[in-house]
Amino acid sequence: MIATPYLLYLGHSNDEAGIKTSRGLAVFRPEICVGEFRHDDCGLTLGLPRMDFAGAFAAGARTLILGVANAGGKLGDDLVTDAVAAMEAGLDIASGLHQRLKDEPRLVETARRLGRTLHDVRDPQPGIPVGNGKPRAGKRLLAVGTDCSVGKMYTTLCLAHALARRGIKADFRATGQTGILVAGSGVPLDAVVADFISGAIEQLSPARDDGGWDLIEGQGSLFHPSFAGVSTGLLHGAQPDALVLCHDPARRHMRGLPHFGLPGLVECLEANLQVARLTNPQVRAVGVALNTSSLSEGEALALCARTADDLCLPCSDPYRFGVETILDMLLDERAIPAAKAMA
């Protein structure tokens, strides 16, 4: 178990999308976040108290969360130096980066010397099965996207909370490092060997017969040439009954690929539905989730209304305006196809 409370690391970051792990924890688990660590050249903040490592430990923090991401998920020299200093101040270290803490000699030696713990959140559990595609009981929603980092985790968490407020059982199923830290469990899907991706999701979201929903966090995009393979396996393994399409209207190209444009919403939604039909022919779209953080409230509301008209689906910014219209569509029995035959 990762010891709480947390100190959230921003370091030298100036890329909003690059601090999504720290921001996700600050938004969805504020009760276990005592502060943020950032250097003077960091232009971002989570609105938490700015602390150094010693001050954070004195305030009760027990783990530094390296909640930043960069191309390739590397542990840079500055980050390693900061992590060493944090351990010397009394903190354990947790990271969801692709490069493992356990593979950095300076961190391993410091942790050994001081008795600190290194947590690599992106290490999948052993024994993941190969997917079999067999229909299984239960109701599942999967968030899909036009690109990476467009709000799939926020959308599924908001839907899970909204279902719970209506008295409906709902479980958020995390598939990325941020979601795993928020939920306390999950599978780091982009670290799973390709042959086992669909099986990992079948295992993460098993059969259920209590009438509740699994809200499955999406990853990547079918239209992102770097990550479409992960998205495909996730669609097959999730066996979703419902899809929500997530999009950032301020995005001008695929994240990290300025030479690659974004798909249209209709094109993207139909492609995801087509892929999902392999394991659930009755899958349906129930809404569109927009990240409107770059727009004024009036602009955001107008864009949601236009998008809803264009796609004939409810559309909202889940974090800003809520998910009630999407939830109404999800729970509308008249819009649900005949139940799939169970094997």
pLDDT one-digit tens code per residue, 312-330: 999 999 999 999 999 999 9
Burial of 311 (0-12, 13-18, 19+ CB in 10 A): middle
Domain residue spans of the chain: 6-120, 139-335
The pLDDT, as a whole number, for residue 218 is 97
Q: Residue 340: its pLDDT value, please?
A: 38
Q: What is the mean pLDDT of residues 150-167?
A: 96
Please, are residues 83 and 64 in contact by the beta-carbon 8 Å criterion? yes
Mean pLDDT (whole number) for 237-250: 98
Per-residue pLDDT averaged across 59-86, rounded?
88
Q: What is the pLDDT of residue 335?
A: 61
CB 181 within 8 A of CB 26: no
The per-residue pLDDT for 342 is: 31
Q: Is the pLDDT of residue 5 over 70?
A: yes
Residue 96 has what pLDDT?
Answer: 85
Task: Say yes or no: domain 6-120 is CATH 3.90.600.10.
Answer: no
The per-residue pLDDT for 72 is: 58
Residue 154's pLDDT band, with cuts at 50, 70 and 90, is very high
CATH superfamily, domain 139-335, is P-loop containing nucleotide triphosphate hydrolases (3.40.50.300)
pTM above 0.85, yes or no: yes
Q: Taking residues 110-119, report their average pLDDT.
A: 96
**Burial class for 234, CB neighbours closer than 10 Å (0-12, 13-18, 19+):** buried
Q: Do domains 6-120 and 139-335 have the same CATH topology?
A: yes
pLDDT band per the 50, 70, 90 thresholds, residue 224: very high
Q: Provide the mean pLDDT of the chain.
A: 93
pLDDT at 55: 97
**Position 31 pLDDT exceeds 90:** yes
According to DSSP, residue 12 is labeled T
Q: Strands (DSSP E) along 174-302, which ranges?
A: 213-216, 242-247, 284-290
Please report the pLDDT score of residue 195 as a whole number: 95
pLDDT exceeds cutoff 50 at 339: no
- Are 144 and 223 within 8 A, CB to CB? no
Q: How crowded is residue 325: how many other Cβ atoms within 10 Å of its Cβ?
A: 17
Q: State the average pLDDT over residues 108-133.
A: 94
Instruction: Report the pLDDT value the prediction gives residue 69, as an integer from 0 to 100.
Output: 78
Residue 220's pLDDT is what?
Answer: 94
Look up tokens 């005949």; give the residue: 338
